[in-house]
Amino acid sequence: MSIIAINVRNQFKGIVKEIIEGSVVSEVDVETPSGIITAVITTRSVKELGLVVGSEVVALIKSTEVSIATLS
């Protein structure tokens, strides 16, 4: 698989480590060299993408907001 062009700059190659499947949405944990990234996607997308533990994937992160809180 190769992506020719995409406007998402934050791309992390990784391996699917766990899928917690729900009736509508699922959590997909991807292990990357930078750590674990968890995505919440539709269960339909999990099935259509053929995701299973061990699948090689690219986590694409595009965010318009990042929130930060202080610890007390």
Residue 69 belongs to some domain of the structure: no
Residue 21 belongs to some domain of the structure: yes
> Which residues, in sequence order, are CB contacts of 20 under 8 Å at separation 6+?
26, 27
35: domain CATH number? 2.40.50.100
Residue 2 belongs to some domain of the structure: no
Count: domains in the chain = 1
Sheet with 10-21, strands from edge to edge, namely 35-42, 25-32, 10-21, 56-61
- Structural domain containing residue 36: 10-61
* Cα distance between residue 65 and residue 2, in whole Å: 28
Q: What is the pLDDT of residues 28-37, one digit of tens each?
A: 999 999 899 9
Residue 17 belongs to some domain of the structure: yes
pTM: 0.79
CB atoms closer than 10 angstroms to residue 51: 19
Q: Which amino acid is at 56?
A: E
Residue 3 belongs to some domain of the structure: no
Q: Is the pLDDT of residue 7 over 80?
A: no
Confidence of residue 71 (pLDDT cuts 50, 70, 90): confident
